[in-house]
Structure 1
């Protein structure tokens, strides 16, 4: 890349995802080894910020694809109020703690992983920085193949994390004979096609933002809605817009948005709706038509077939619903990063300088 910027990291994502996929054995091997040596019955995913959003989707992957109990947690909430097995029926070696920290310096994630290892649980961290503090407190380290991002907001790191977590789920499903040889080869082929065509996702997201930028950056408030596997995408969209564009942004599970927050709708609010290939799809379309009665700033983000207009983005590639969260994140990155640039915010600078969340590198 010619210069350090969030936008350049975003445009680099097609290359980075293909590279990570091509080198996937690097992060697959340590993860498979834990399942091979231990009868893992529960997986706990931990992360803060972008890593938490990925953890929520990872838990969904492991429940729906692998059929194993899985939960995504904020590390501090878990440390203070939860425990690994409230039923007291699982052995410690049957529970896997997975820390996600691109920088490896997240204080809360380091703390929970350190305690888990000391308490005798199985532990692994997914991190880009193999020399970071968190690597000293886990049994295994998996390399997050995204390359270092030198800007405060993480974009390329998030999509690389999501690709890694999905590949982990596919590999474990195959290892446990949940996926047949045919299912496994089909899944790998789908991932291959997806990363090879990710430049289309970047272009279509950029074009969509340019069509709608005037109203988006002049919103009083932004809502992000989704459901199913893409609830984590809702959280990531909310985070990215909040940290870069810095317009008040709130995320909701789509049905829950209708239980009160709809009373606040005005025509200066922007609503983003992620249309996932889940059971709620028809309900999503129903909500969309109703919301348009109150604001014309309603944007559907999907790859499913339906009637659209210039406010919507209907991707021309059609990955499976578990890969879609990687794709559906990109429009929010453009809203956040390009929107910030358009209104004069320098996303290379973090205006909040107190080191509360991370160890100093």
Structure 2
């Protein structure tokens, strides 16, 4: 039986396969200007992580909506000319229903991103983009999350190239940067393993986990929240840097373990200031950084990558830590729970 850790260890090979088979003309997205993305759960987090890459790469505005609430209360902007429905399983009931509802009144191009091209969602869209990572049988999405981030970034490249805002040379440069990031995934896993061994006693004892990020890694922080809640099964939240400073910090106490996701940019100092302030009030402040640092409680990845690409790498340490903390707390992640949930709540078709 495959485990969550097995899938984590397959991520580099999986993403290399995806980018190796990339065809920039595969999906027709010429002249897209305003894009609505519908997703839930880890798929939604992946969209947040890829949004800034798409917008910085292509001449397009990206709106991301959590599907269920948007289905029942949302209003579509008349300027939207592309709907992307993201569902790894292809069975998300609310996402399928939202696509059907939104395309009833006017013709809008629709694309589904899914790992199952024969799933129900493929029947309600114009085109299907295979996530190209196989069917993930473990319930806690890992390589599927990373594959979704990468495929959305590659979709941004397609929009840019087909809209003639990017020539072939720039496309090659972007693909090279993505390939370089992907080639460092196993290195990230190795360094996270070392970090885990150094801090495992404290992390296993943890009872409240919070991650704080900014920019494209707000998506990473939200995926931390999803993954830790699913696996470690203790209160866990992911916050945008400034949002945490507008109220949630008042909850901080000696039981809290904070992770700060940092890139070397203009917001780095603000994150550092918050960490310094809170360090005397919480159990621990950890840092996960792309920079080369040698400091206590710091996972220094020493990777070279543009900030807009870093979500491809920075989600992986949290996947690894979620698995290790959960299993070392005695949680059997291969033992299914709430088996009748989807059937009773009808969240999936």
> Scaled by the length of structure 2, what TM-score is found?
0.93
Cα separation, partners in 2 of 1:357 and 1:336, compared to 1, 3 Å: farther
Contact 2:81 2:109 (8 Å CA) reproduced: yes
CA-CA distance at 1:351 after TM superposition: 1.6
Q: Which moved more, 1:175-184 or 1:229-238?
A: 175-184
**Alignment correspondent of 2:42:** 50
Q: Secondary structure at the match of 1:322?
A: helix
Contact 2:211 2:238 (8 Å CA) reproduced: yes
CA–CA distance in structure 2, aligned partners of residues 247 and 130 of structure 1: 35
CA deviation map 1:49-86 (0-9, x unaligned): 1001112233333333223221111011211222221x
**Alignment correspondent of 2:69:** 77
| Structure 1, unpaired ranges of 5+ | none
CA deviation map 1:14-35 (0-9, x unaligned): 111111111122xx4443x1x2
350, 354, 357: which one aligns with 2:336? 350
CA–CA distance in structure 1, aligned partners of residues 346 and 48 of structure 2: 20
**Alignment correspondent of 1:23:** 21
Give 1:245-284 correspondences, 5 Å limit: 245-284=232-271
**Alignment correspondent of 1:338:** 324
CA–CA distance in structure 2, aligned partners of residues 144 and 357 of structure 1: 24
**Alignment correspondent of 1:184:** 171
106, 109, 125: which one aligns with 2:92? 106
Matched, 1:293 2:291: no
Q: Secondary structure at the match of 1:84?
A: coil
Give 1:10-159 correspondences, 5 Å limit: 10-25=8-23, 28-31=24-27, 33=28, 35-36=29-30, 39-85=31-77, 88=78, 90=79, 95-119=81-105, 120-159=107-146
CA deviation map 1:260-279 (0-9, x unaligned): 22222222210011113443
CA-CA distance at 1:358 after TM superposition: 3.9
Contact 2:83 2:110 (8 Å CA) reproduced: yes
CA–CA distance in structure 1, aligned partners of residues 103 and 122 of structure 2: 11
Q: Secondary structure at the match of 1:194?
A: helix
CA–CA distance in structure 1, aligned partners of residues 302 and 234 of structure 2: 29
| Structure 2, unpaired ranges of 5+ | none
Contact 2:182 2:312 (8 Å CA) reproduced: no
CA–CA distance in structure 2, aligned partners of residues 275 and 183 of structure 1: 27
**Alignment correspondent of 1:321:** 307
Q: Which moved more, 1:346-355 or 1:199-208?
A: 346-355
Number of residue pairs matched by the alignment: 345
Matched, 1:359 2:343: no
CA-CA distance at 1:133 after TM superposition: 0.5
> Scaled by the length of structure 1, what TM-score is found?
0.90
Contact 1:63 1:69 (8 Å CA) reproduced: yes
